[in-house]
Chains A and B, each alone.
Chain A
């Protein structure tokens, strides 16, 4: 399930130093839970994104361990403190070994 995976991130382009900003992320992904069965009654194998991390200039903001109970197109909303200008790096880890990344730069206003 590596095709059609597209991360989307909403982050402010600038912030005051030390300000907590709200980040919203969405990634299009089937998130096959492993519980569903196809028409023949055979289970469809699990294929999910199992981990999501957000870092700012290499320092961790959040690290989420995801299980099959996370919905299709996983969405996360959380806050990050922006101490200085830099890059927010978002990383998603797929069950099949793929890693999806997105980077947003934040300037100090």
Chain B
């Protein structure tokens, strides 16, 4: 098999891509976001994400999300081994479109909440949480 100049370049580019990929830690999170939004634009207002500034124990971090008129809200922890946290889908009898729960965070990282509105638009909010003790065991 002969390598032309073009083949050599292509192989080189492939090798570069493979070495760069592991450093894109947020690739899985970006994938989850695009799967949820279908690539639509995301507005920056309309969602409230309540999270502590400093969480002493990453095993139980209390968070809350609220978005007026939302159909569904997805919460992502960008620094966790798997970024997905939960997706809240509100039914016809939901009161205020809010929910709170307790989550695990592996370390200091950004939390992101993305809401799908009734009109099909999307909005997001993010918050940085400093974690003293990570919650992934190990």
Contact = CB atoms under 8 A, between A and B. Distances in A.
A binds B: yes
Interface of A: 20-22, 33, 35-37, 55-56, 59-72, 74-83
Contacts of B88: 62-64, 78
Interface string B14-25: 000000000000
Given A33-B137, A69-B86, A83 B93 contact: yes
B43 interface: no
A33 B134 CA distance: 14
Contact of A79 (B98, B102, B105): B98
Interface string B59-78: 11100100000000000010
A72 B91 contact: no
A59 B59 contact: no
Interface residues of B, number: 33
Interface in B69-111: 77, 80-82, 84-96, 98-105
A89 to B, nearest CB: 12
B136 interface: yes
Main secondary structure of the interface of B (DSSP, over half): strand
B12 interface: no
Given A64-B87, A78-B99, A79-B98, A70 B104 contact: yes
Contacts of B86: 64-67, 69-70
Given A67-B84, A77-B64, 16 more contacts: A36-B136, A61-B90, A63-B88, A63-B91, A64-B87, A65-B87, A67-B86, A69-B80, A69-B82, A70-B104, A71-B135, A75-B101, A76-B101, A78-B94, A79-B95, A80-B95
A71 B60 contact: yes
Interface in B19-46: none
B120 interface: no
B96 A20 contact: yes
Contacts of B82: 67-69
A21 B95 contact: yes
Contacts of A70: 85-86, 101-104
Give the most central of A33, A35, A71: most B CB within 10 Å.
Answer: A71
